[in-house]
A = this chain, B = another copy of it.
Amino acid sequence: MALHMAVEVVRDSRTSLTAQIQSFIKREISEGILHPGTRLPSSRRLAGDLDVSRSVVVEAYGQLVAEGYLEATQGAGTRVVTHLDAAPPVVPALLDEAPVPAVRWDLRTGGRNLPAFPRREWLACYQRVLQAAQPADHGYPPLAGEPGLRTELARYLGRVRGVRVTAGQVMVVAGFAQALGLLCTVLRQDGVDALGIEDPGHPGQRQFVHETGLRPVPVPVDEEGIDVDALAATGVRAVLVTPAHQFPTGVTLSPARREALVRWARDTGGRIVEDDYDGGLWYERGPRPLALQRLAPEHVVYAGTASKALAPGLRLGWVAAPPDLLARLLRTRARHDLGTDGLTQLAFAELLRGGLFDRHLRRLGAHCRERREALEEAVRRHLPGATVTGRAAGLHAYVTLPRHTDEAALVAGALRRSVVVRGGSAFRVRPRRDAPALVVGHAHLPRAGVADALRAIGAAYPGG
């Protein structure tokens, strides 16, 4: 343990070096600069660093132990005593999540319903990358992302999502949130002051758009996806959509609506932001919907993320955009940070390159399909009249309840039975037009947990 410690001593002082070291450390501890539990360097180390005789430090440490500031433990070295720890560190809570109540099942979406992280595969890729890394790989990453990852992303997005893009048009970002933040800034530069958003949709995104200074304008969603006539009527010049698997309803934008949406963009010069948040995670039989972007790459900004398929903690996302817009996104980013963690980028490129990401998605898809099937069965059993609607994809499912159901009462009843679940109204801006519903994050549950949680909800169900 070659620890460092800052100590101020004056060599030609009339105070002895021992007394100086002793009183310096005492003051640092008293003022909370040296924290309780902090391990200090060995007396040999500190003496060497200060260029004083070791006995000087041994004596100072000894005095501080005697006075109760330090404790010396066989094998664990010398530490600041911990019982001085009066005030625990205060973490500003304003932006941290509300504490999760201690419940049996938490079915909420968004950062909680996480599937298992493929730690073995990820570690193997990270290790390979680290071992092959050249000095430049540890330097400032290119602002648009590591070229190796951009190439792999372009290939992957073409193959799996049908995105029309070259590596030069892909930008790596710190998650979709950063992409959306940059886009909102660029839109504002173009005089755009409002962004169409889906209703129901993602409440966090709505809030995020609002905080970037754009006005979020809700546009209704029905069983074909976003209502393009309603969008056109709002007069907005940009819209954020989830065409493959609408969040939270799970519907896919119908072919007719896709065409209408692209026509809207062409006719009005509008911008479409395609949030393909769980595009790679599809477990329905038969072909999956391709990216909307391929129909009009000049009007659509395509954005994806590793948050659903892998883990939000990686803070890894990507954007495919026309070159002029990409250049402006980069310019905007250059005022915010200097790129995304290089090793994480390269490890993800490795995961893509070797096909391990595809394999992970296939396993995750099988896992989620099981949960979905368990959910369908449990809904039939415990929520008669309700149905699981929306496509079999992603980490959550949408359960449509019979018209007469009191959604709020059901959600409250579930909570009393130790199940946290959100009703459809938590995702709506405008008063309810569509049927009451539950939004069920299921990816993190054990199979039996799905049935157990639904049984508890069923007990709060009218007639349950």
State the A residues within 8 Å of B (CB).
1-9, 28, 31-35, 37-41, 50-51, 87, 89-92, 94-96, 111-112, 114, 116-117, 119, 122-123, 126-127, 130-131, 133, 135, 137-144, 147, 150-151, 154-155, 158-168, 174-175, 177-178, 181, 208, 211-212, 280, 285-288, 290, 294, 307, 311-316, 323, 326-327, 330-331, 334-344, 355, 358-359, 361-362, 444
Check A286–B139 contact: CB distance below 8 A. no
Check B95–A337 contact: CB distance below 8 A. no
Check A341–B338 contact: CB distance below 8 A. no
Closest beta carbon of chain B to A284's beta carbon, Å: 11
29 contacts between A and B (CB under 8 A): A1-B355, A2-B358, A2-B362, A4-B358, A5-B160, A28-B162, A33-B163, A35-B155, A38-B158, A41-B358, A51-B286, A92-B330, A94-B327, A95-B142, A95-B143, A95-B144, A111-B139, A117-B138, A138-B311, A175-B338, A311-B342, A312-B338, A315-B337, A315-B339, A315-B342, A316-B341, A336-B336, A340-B341, A341-B341
Chain B residues with CB below 8 A from A287, complex form: 6-9, 50
Chain B residues with CB below 8 A from A165, complex form: 33
Check A28–B362 contact: CB distance below 8 A. no
Check A40–B177 contact: CB distance below 8 A. no
Check A122–B130 contact: CB distance below 8 A. yes
Known: A140-B312, A313-B341. 7 other contacts (CB 8 A): A6-B287, A87-B166, A92-B326, A174-B174, A316-B341, A336-B336, A340-B341
Check A130–B119 contact: CB distance below 8 A. yes
Chain B residues with CB below 8 A from A341, complex form: 174, 313-316, 340-341, 344
Picked from B28, B178, B337, B340, the residue with its CB within 8 Å of the CB of A158 is B28
Check B181–A337 contact: CB distance below 8 A. yes
Q: Provide the bound-state CA to CA distance between A101 and B143, in Å.
A: 21
Chain B residues with CB below 8 A from A8, complex form: 287, 290
Q: A6-B290, A91-B150, A163-B33 are in contact. Are A117 and B133 (CB under 8 A)?
A: yes
Q: Provide the bound-state CA to CA distance between A362 and B89, in Å.
A: 29
Check A355–B2 contact: CB distance below 8 A. yes
Closest beta carbon of chain B to A359's beta carbon, Å: 4
Closest beta carbon of chain B to A23's beta carbon, Å: 14
Chain B residues with CB below 8 A from A90, complex form: 166, 168, 323
Check B38–A168 contact: CB distance below 8 A. no
List the B residue with the shortest CB-CB distance to A323: B92
List the B residue with the shortest CB-CB distance to A126: B126
Picked from B133, B138, B168, the residue with its CB within 8 Å of the CB of A91 is B168
Check A177–B139 contact: CB distance below 8 A. no
Chain B residues with CB below 8 A from A343, complex form: 313-314, 344
Q: Provide the bound-state CA to CA distance between A123 and B347, in Å.
A: 13
List the B residue with the shortest CB-CB distance to A355: B1
Q: Provide the bound-state CA to CA distance between A227 and B9, in Å.
A: 26
Check A89–B168 contact: CB distance below 8 A. yes
Check A114–B139 contact: CB distance below 8 A. yes
Chain B residues with CB below 8 A from A133, complex form: 117, 119
List the B residue with the shortest CB-CB distance to A286: B51
Chain B residues with CB below 8 A from A155, complex form: 35, 37-38
Chain B residues with CB below 8 A from A150, complex form: 89, 91
Chain B residues with CB below 8 A from A323, complex form: 90, 92
Chain B residues with CB below 8 A from A288, complex form: 6
List the B residue with the shortest CB-CB distance to A173: B337
Check B178–A312 contact: CB distance below 8 A. no
Chain B residues with CB below 8 A from A312, complex form: 138-140, 338
Q: Provide the bound-state CA to CA distance between A340 and B177, in Å.
A: 12
Q: Provide the bound-state CA to CA distance between A96 and B333, in Å.
A: 13
